[in-house]
Amino acid sequence: MILLGTLVNAIAIIAGALLGRLLSGIPESIRKTVMQGIGLAIVLLGIKMSLETQNFLLVILSIVIGSILGELIGIESGLNKLGQWLESKMGGRSQGSIATGFVTTTLVYCIGAMAVLGAMDSGLRNNHEILYTKAMLDGFSAIIFSSTLGIGVLFSAVPVFLYQGAIALLSTQIYNFVSQETLDAMLVEVTAVGGLMIIAIGINILELKKINVANMLPALAIAAIGVPLIRWLSV
């Protein structure tokens, strides 16, 4: 079953979010310090990912072009509106709490090498080990996120399932278009671009500055397309 790993990942997020709500009585000082620690860890992860690039110019161009496209489309605004709609249906008492938890964790869980590589491995080899590992990590982090950001974390399971599921299904056809060497190069640059966005998420969590990370999402597609395009132009 190609989507098994993705399904397990989504269930782990839901379970972690529900468990995290039971821990919502944690004192505010502890919750704040925990979130700061998570923010720092996310920044470190993003730095590690971004340093893997073999073409720094492509990373810059991907971020610039992707950000322009994202702003024109209004991805961040759309996600926030969806989160606020969920909040209105849930009757959230804390203004913006569901929207904040939903947007933040959706980005954290969807941006990254494990989400892409794991979903592709599910599609290409029907191997779900990477997504099973990601499910454990996401489940544990969902406990922390939910206890600090609220029940909005639970709803991030839906875009995670749709995103990773789409990659898994599309990857079954990927070798019809690119070679293994080109695919490996694409993953390196997508990981690097994703790393910059992970850093931005960490900055948001640390409340150093508000960055519209969701509007940068098209940069991942630009980086993926840019690798074979550069190779074709250099021939």
pLDDT in tens, 155-200: 999 999 999 999 899 888 877 788 888 888 888 898 889 889 889 8
Q: Give the three-state DSSP class for 177.
A: coil
Packing angle of the helix pair 157-171, 97-110 (nearest 10 deg): 20
Q: Which of 64-73, 112-121, 215-224 has the lowest mean pLDDT?
A: 112-121
97 class by beta-carbon count within 10 Å (0-12 exposed, 13-18 middle, 19+ buried): middle
- Give residue 80's pLDDT band: very low, low, confident or very high (50, 70, 90): confident
Q: Give the three-state DSSP class for 113.
A: helix
Q: What is the pLDDT of residue 58?
A: 95
DSSP classification of residue 214: G
- Compute the radius of gyration of the chain from its Cα atoms: 18
